Amino acid sequence: MTQPSREDVIQQDVRDLHQLGYAQELFRSMGGFSNFAISFSIISILTGAVILYDYGLAWAGTAASLIGWPLVTIVVLCIAASMSEIASAYPTAGGLYYWASRMKGKAWGWWTAWFNLLGQFAIVAGIAYAAAQFLNVSIVTPLLDNVGISYGNVTELIKIGDVPILTGGLVTMGVLLAICLFLNIRGINLVAFLNQVSVWWHIAIVAAVVVLVMIAGKPDQSGMTLFAVQPQDAGGSWANVIPFLGIDLQYGAAITYPLFFAFMFSLLQANWTYTGYDASAHVAEETVGARVSSAWGIFLSVAVSAVVGYIFLFVLTTHLPDLSGLFPKDLADADANILSTYYFGGGYTVYETLKYNLDTIGQLLGAGIAIAMSFCTLSSVASAGRMLFAFSRDDGVPGSGWLKKVSHRYRTPINSLIAIVVVAFLFTVAAFYVGALGGPGGGGIAIVIVTAISTIFLYAAYGIPIYLGLTTDGWRSERVWSLGRWSKLVAVIALLWILVLLVLFSFPTSGNISWPFMAGAVILLLVYYFAWARRRFQGPRVMGREEELTEIEREFDQAARELEGPGTA
């Protein structure tokens, strides 16, 4: 039997998109590997697993990585598999929002979209800020030190009273986001190529760390028992701080929890790493063979990250230096707390472990990790921009008329990309400021705020279509990627874990004051929904009849030829 050509597959993809009601405005050129690559790059084991490695040790010692990672992997694979089934039925950039709308109605789709969108803003913020911190630690600060310039994550540039609102970490984040925005605007082909580079970069850095540490690494000096739950930050791990509500237990009597709950809280390290793989669905309209490629992109990005990530974490965890200086017990000592895991997100343990084992080579590998985090930021902006574009295309957000415009030159949703970057940066500044009200280390608290918020809102958005998929059947005849008789059992497991993490990561632990942000967001959404969206939002909108959709596509093709200049075929 003759295999269809690439052009035949693209034409089928366009017909599938027309059946969903949309014209082919974006440029369809990504292959299956590129689709996998964007989700793999956003998961980025060299971002989440590194930047929250300190957090995991603070709560549960080595058990956070050695036990927590494989446990979270099992349930996240169930979530990814359930999402893959539905993605193969509805291959559109709206992803989860469109799925929920088709399965149950516009109200379900609206809430799914907003949860997903808030999670997208937060995950871009968390990834970009984490990358900026590691870029400063491993590259920027050492280079500037050589020329006599003092600049780092905690360098205070603008303050309100005694509270900093612009630091070196935030400035580097802004520069990184601006670069990622520019690259994203230039077109999906460039982003797809960089995502492919990102995959091999991640694997190369992990391989180098594993091989070199195993060959030339030094004995473990942490004093921790492998696979044991041993919280390392005995002071900070148990504190609760809600400064803007007038409740401040940071330096007072701490609230203590059983060790089992300490271990459960540590799972944020793994679960935040496993976020963003819905990107494979969001770029479906730019993927060739979207039904199958998007489904496999979602599932394989988690599966490959699971194996590579565990090898990386196991090698690090068995070659730790003496960490006593990184886990001060006296939280009132502000100077000592610069590296404290109470403030999260500095990535200091991983960086110090590499230097301890490999000296200068370890520092170079740290710089390689910073570059991997930058790739992750690029991919997260691309995915979030497509999600915002798709929801705006159906007039689901304020300013939709501006946000849904697509560049004729680059075939990218420029305005949505700009909005994602600007809001993510401002959100991080706000989280930093609120965290700083509680004392030194606001930047670290900002990390735990944005990571917890992104995890909760994204998984809430994942959970809704999985629940609808479990309780409806109409979509099953459309899917081409199927779990067969295991479909419903896998969906039940996925939903049970999502319910657990929604409670677990909202808990106000150790500087995590994310729950007031989330509660405020939900209240505002309720007001917005009942005051406007309930009556006026129409759900996924058909852009036109077949000939009208084709005409829209001709306009883009004609504009492209005009931009390329005379003589273009």
Q: What residue spans define the domains of the chain?
A: 1-21+542-569, 30-154+175-538
- What is the tens place of the pLDDT at every residue in 263-319? 888 898 899 899 999 999 999 999 999 999 999 999 999 999 999 999 999 999 999
The reported pLDDT for the residue numbered 325 is 62
Query: Are 435 and 245 in contact, with CB atoms under 8 Å apart?
Result: no
- What is the token pair recorded at 4? 């269809």
End-to-end CA distance of the chain: 33
Query: Are 354 and 365 in contact, with CB atoms under 8 Å apart?
Result: yes
Under CATH, which number does the domain 30-154+175-538 receive?
1.20.1740.10
- What is the tens place of the pLDDT at every residue in 7-16? 999 999 999 9
Percent of the chain with pLDDT over 70: 86
The reported pLDDT for the residue numbered 475 is 95
- What is the tens place of the pLDDT at every residue in 148-166? 998 988 788 888 777 777 8
The reported pLDDT for the residue numbered 260 is 83
Q: Answer whether residue 346 shows pLDDT above 90.
A: no
Percent of the chain with pLDDT over 90: 62
pTM of the predicted structure, to 2 decimals: 0.90
C-beta atoms surrounding 166 within 10 Å:
17
DSSP, collapsed to helix, strand or coil, labels residue 423 as helix
The reported pLDDT for the residue numbered 247 is 43
Backbone conformation region of residue 6, classed left if phi is above 0, alpha if psi is from -120 to 50, else beta: alpha
Q: Distance between CA atoms of 99 and 540, rounded to whole angstroms?
A: 10
- What is the tens place of the pLDDT at every residue in 37-86? 999 999 999 998 998 888 888 788 899 999 999 999 999 999 999 999 99
**With bands split at pLDDT 50, 70 and 90, how would you rate the model's confidence at 405?**
very high
Q: Distance between CA atoms of 177 and 184, rounded to whole angstroms?
A: 10
Burial letters for 375-390: b for 16+ Cβ neighbours within 10 Å, e otherwise?
bbbbbbbbbbbbbbbb
C-beta atoms surrounding 77 within 10 Å:
18
Query: Are 17 and 285 in contact, with CB atoms under 8 Å apart?
Result: yes
